[in-house]
Structure 1
Amino acid sequence: MLHADPFAIRGLLGPDAAPGRRAITNEHGIVLPAFSDHHVHLHLIDEQGLAPHGIAAALDLGGDPVALARRPREGFPRISYAGAFLTAKDGYPVGRPWAPDAVWREVTDASTHPGVPGGAATAVDEQASCGASVIKVALNRSAGSVFDAETLAVVVACAHERGLPVVAHVEGEGMTRLALDAGVDALAHTPFSERLGIRQTARAAASQVWISTLDIHGDDPDAAENAVANLAAFREAGGRVLYGTDLGNGERSAGIQTAELAALDRAGVRGPALIATLADPWPGTATTHAVATFVPGPPPGTLDEVPAWLGGATVVPEEEIVRDEH
């Protein structure tokens, strides 16, 4: 049995952390809420590794909407998805070797009428009819054309009419501002191609959630520095941060990415705030109440140890968990 101080554990890991054990194996450890990765690409990873390595739910941000709609709903990880990227003519990720034709749709008409070929409403309706929980738009000026302000605003309005938030991939100068002006609800990546000013950051913190994806910039120190600085400022301004890895981008095993957690820690998202990014249920469509996160062994002794310690997490059914009552 672990002799862990529950008050110290909550101070390091948040109010829902508790010592406990697995009833079947009698293994002792720390119990936490179920964790989510808010940015993955299932067609590029082995998703079977997610739950054994700590991820109970995942948000696919760019995949074949028909294939995603046909997925079984049982088991873990629970999956929410955007369906296809919506992009401008010849925009990102059209032509990318990792992005087959099924994972993107070119929107070439700002029409709000259903069934118009290339129309904004047509593209949104297709993703919604396939069960999308969010709509994903690509705003990557460095890799092709992007939506003009009018078309983007129509896409966002169509999504909101259907009760769906909009997530944007922003890359290139001015793309975060374009997303903000159009009412985009979330950014798929912390902005990394430019350093945002105080006013723009405050505006984003008041209206958007940001998905972290800090660790994907390992080969680009300038982008990495921009992303960490932007996220730190966003957090200081009261912004809501979600843990997300862009899993499928690069060679990484499925599951919790301790390097992403360490980068969040460097941005000032530490301890209970770090756990909150993992346990946040956004967009709220993947039910995970039947499971918990379990990290075997003793708890971390300091905040500095938390990111690496979380690498031992796994997903365990709630019925198998016995929490320490003291």
Structure 2
Amino acid sequence: MAHDPHALRALLGEDAELCHRAITGEHGVSLPPFTDHHVHLHLFDETRLAAGGIAGAVDLGGDPVALARRENHGIPRVAYAGAFLTAPGGYPVGRSWAPGEITREISDPSAHPGVPGGAATAVDEQASFGASVIKVALNSTAGPVLDSETLSAVVAVARERGLAVIAHAEGERMPRLAFDAGVSGFAHAPFSEYVGRAFLARSAAAGHVWISTLAIHRGDEEAAEFARVNLAGFAAAGGRVLYGTDLGNGEQPVGVNADEVTALDRAGVRGPALIRAMSDPWPHAEPPSGVRTFVPGPPPHHADEVAGWLRGATVVPTEELVHDDH
């Protein structure tokens, strides 16, 4: 039974612990703090995340000035990319949800600082406002994309600054364009085509991170199937999968998204692997400090029950939790 500490850890990972809250006496399960690795903070109220079980968030497209000036609430801990870097007229320029402040159009592959429209200029601006990662937009279905020379320059400059580059790769061959330029991973599990076993193996071997965002394809069966199969293959090849929802994109719960958890489970990311994807501290090396994700009530008995059970998750100070399995 999952109420046994050993069975619980087999189901949810070695860091899962039966516990109760010292103040309220409420019993439940303590898990490492969860992070949503793909959000857009300008489109929702981040202060609601902790109540929904999310202790960390990675903003993958916003106004770098506003992000640098945002009030730091401590929890959620926020990392961010700053603006989307894109080709002139490329995605998401002109989108109703994308004010001009959240895009930078790169027209020159120059690696020299200060060149107008230059690759280094765009990367350096994001870094100067505290970016922890760089986001490039490669959406050939919605306009022009960065050519291979310019994209490679962005990646090279970012690497020199110690920053990973994450690609929004949409459209045929866009994941391959990103891979060949040396990106560190994908903001969405590729959803425009089957990328193939060789690509999946190479991506996993390269140490890429893939942010899931599987549930955003609800209503588009083809994209949903491409994303599921690609992510399942990447995970099976040993790839590093990160839980992410693209929160702010459409109607989604602010907190643990059970639809995303269910989609990950269907892609074979379940049990301890699911909890690892949700609690991976990327792009940080360590998880948010001083807190845990706590799920009240009886723990689940089977992997099929985990998605629904996680709906009750909340973030609790570590000092408030008393372990019950010692």
Identity of aligned residues (%): 66
Deviations 1:64-107 (A, max 9, x none): 00000012334211100000000001000000000000000000
CA distance in 1, matches of 2:68, 2:125: 11
Mapped to 2, the partners of 1:164 and 1:285 lie a distance apart of 13
Distance, in Å, in 2 between the alignment partners of 1:73 and 1:48 is: 10
* Pairing 1:109-124 to 2, within 5 Å after superposition: 109-124=108-123
Match of 2:38 in 1: 39
Q: Secondary structure at the match of 1:283?
A: coil
> Which amino acid in structure 2 is aligned with residue 46 of structure 1?
D
Q: How many residues are treated as equivalent by the alignment?
A: 325
Aligned to 2:283: 283
Partner of 2:70: 71
Partner Cα separation in structure 1 for residue 104 and residue 93 of structure 2 = 9
Q: Counterparts in 2 of 1:218-229, with a 5 A limit?
A: 218-229=218-229
Counterparts of 2:117 and 2:53, CA distance in 1: 40
Q: For residue 296 of structure 2, what is the aligned residue in structure 1?
A: 296
Q: Which residue matches 1:149?
A: 148
Match of 1:13 in 2: 12
* Partner Cα distance (1:303, 1:255) in 2: 20
Instruction: State how far apart, in whole Å, the 1-side matches of 2:73 and 2:189 are.
Output: 31
Q: Is the 8 A contact 2:212 2:244 kept in 1?
A: yes
Determine if contact 1:191/1:227 at 8 Å carries over to the other structure: yes
8 Å Cα contact 1:80/1:285 also seen in 2: no
Contact 2:5-2:325 within 8 A present in 1 as well: no
What is the CA distance between 1:323 and its match in structure 2?
Answer: 1.2
Indicate conservation of the 8 Å contact 1:135/1:164, yes or no: yes
Q: Which residue of 1 aligns with 2:234?
A: 234
TM-score w.r.t. the length of structure 1 is 0.98
Q: Normalization by structure 2: what TM-score?
A: 0.98
Query: SS at the partner of 2:146?
Result: coil
The separation in 2 between residues aligned to 1:26 and 1:262, in whole angstroms, is: 30
Q: Is the 8 Å Cα contact of residues 16 and 32 (structure 2) preserved in structure 1?
A: yes
Aligned partners of 1:98 and 1:21: how far apart in 2?
42
- Corresponding residue for residue 86 of structure 1: 85
Runs of 4+ aligned residues of structure 1 deviating over 6 Å after TM superposition are: none
| Preserved contact between residue 149 and residue 182 of structure 1 (Cα < 8 Å) | yes
Q: Is the 8 A contact 2:279 2:287 kept in 1?
A: no
Aligned match of 1:260: 260
Matched-pair contact (CA < 8 Å) for 1:152–1:182: yes
Q: Which letter maps to 1:257?
A: N
| Counterpart-to-counterpart distance in 2, 1:311 and 1:158 | 41
Q: CA deviation at 1:325?
A: 3.8
- 1:18 Cα offset (Å): 0.6
User: 1:104 is aligned with what amino acid?
Assistant: T
Letter in 2 for 1:234: F
Residue type matched to 1:72 in 2?
Answer: E
Q: Aligned residue for 1:209?
A: 209
The CA distance in 1 between the partners of 2:285 and 2:253, in whole Å, is 25
Deviation for aligned residue 1:287: 5.2
Residues 280 and 287, structure 2, Cα contact 8 Å, conserved in 1: no
How far apart are residue 34 of structure 1 and its match?
A: 0.3
> Is residue 2:160 matched to residue 1:161?
yes
Deviations 1:270-310 (A, max 9, x none): 11100000010000067512100100000001111011111
Partner of residue 199, structure 1: 198
Gaps of 5+ in 1: none
Distance in 2 (alpha carbons) for counterparts of 1:38 and 1:24: 31
Confirm or deny: 8 A CA contact 1:57 1:286 kept in the other structure: no
Alpha-carbon distance between aligned partners in 1 of 2:86 and 2:139, rounded to the nearest angstrom: 9
SS in 2 for 1:315: strand
Alignment check: 8 A CA contact 1:34 1:279 kept: yes
Deviations 1:28-62 (A, max 9, x none): 00000000000000011121221000000000000
Aligned to 2:174: 175
Matches within 5 A, 1:310-325: 310-325=310-325
CA distance in 1, matches of 2:15, 2:113: 45
Give the conservation status (yes or no) of the 8 Å contact 1:133–1:285.
Answer: no
- Where structure 2 has 5 or more consecutive residues not aligned to the other structure, the ranges are none
Summarize the Cα distance change of 1:75–1:115 in structure 2 as closer, same or farther, 3 Å threshold.
Answer: same
- How far did residue 178 of structure 1 move? 0.5
Deviation digits for residues 178-219 of structure 1 (CA, Å, limit 9, x no counterpart): 011011001000000001111111111112110000000012
Equivalent-residue separation in structure 1 for 2:169 and 2:137 (angstroms): 7
What's the Cα RMSD here? 1.3
Please tell me whether the aligned partners of residues 78 and 286 of structure 1 are also in contact (alpha carbons under 8 angstroms).
no
